[in-house]
Amino acid sequence: MQYFPPALEHLVEQFAKLPGVGVKSAQRLAFHVLSMPEEEANIFAQAIINAKTAIHYCPVCQNLTQGDGVCPVCSDKHRDQNIVCVVADPKDVMAMERAREYTGVYHVLHGVISPMNHVGPDDLHIKSLVERVASGGVNEVIMATNPDTEGEATAMYLARLLKPFQIRVTRLAYGIPVGSHLEYADDATLMRALEGRREL
């Protein structure tokens, strides 16, 4: 590394800080930047600064949004403001939207309760969810956290927390994924699929 000019070394270090980027990849990326036209490199640098300054959390659902005020989903008159889908991450909102089935709104927790990683309820956007429900107008809260231990625990915790408001609190269905093979389904999933079986 000490054989590169300092500005190049510095750029390599910056790239190497990114998740999943090792020193070799960081070098390849830095060399790619050097080979870019100067204008393109400026656009890249500006995009980084822009993303940091332009994007903020929607004051209602805590999803990422740009510009002033609430996000496009929360301000959409065609969406059912009475149903709130609780997800752990903005990427999960994207996954739900891809399904083109859900017409309600969201609430992004920005994480899950995880004592192992020292993440407690106060580190998540749980208080704003409770306030949202408490202020009325919400009929149903759908827990759409991941079906793993931490996602489960967070969903259970929230369900208990929202119980006093006497609204419907639901959880996404478990079962065998569409297009998969029974043969490869794990025991826990099969058990849940059996439990959740429905009349044809």
Classified as helix, coil or strand, 104 is strand
- Closer to a second copy by Cβ: residue 72 or 196: 72
Question: In sequence order, which ranges of the chain are alpha helices (DSSP H)?
Answer: 6-16, 23-35, 38-54, 90-98, 127-134, 149-162, 187-195
Q: Classify each residue of 90-126 as buried b or exposed e, where b means 16 or more C-beta atoms within 10 Å of its C-beta.
A: bebbeebeeeeebebbbbbbbbbbbeeeebeeeebbb
Which two three-digit tokens encode residue 108?
Answer: 């992004």
State the nearest-atom distance from the C-beta of 179 to a second copy, in Å: 20
Contacting residue, 16, 22, 23, 41, with a second copy by CB under 8 A? 41
Judged by CB under 8 A, the stretch of 30-38, 79-87, 134-142, 180-188 that binds a second copy is: 30-38
- Closer to a second copy by Cβ: residue 34 or 190: 34
**Site membership for a second copy, residue 14 (CB under 8 A):** yes
Classified as helix, coil or strand, 168 is strand
Q: Please, are residues 148 and 116 in contact by the beta-carbon 8 Å criterion?
A: no
**Site membership for a second copy, residue 78 (CB under 8 A):** no
- Closer to a second copy by Cβ: residue 47 or 190: 47
Question: Where along the sequence are the contacts to a second copy (CB under 8 A)?
Answer: 1, 3-8, 10-11, 13-14, 17-21, 25, 27-34, 36, 38, 41-55, 64-67, 90-91, 93-94, 97-98
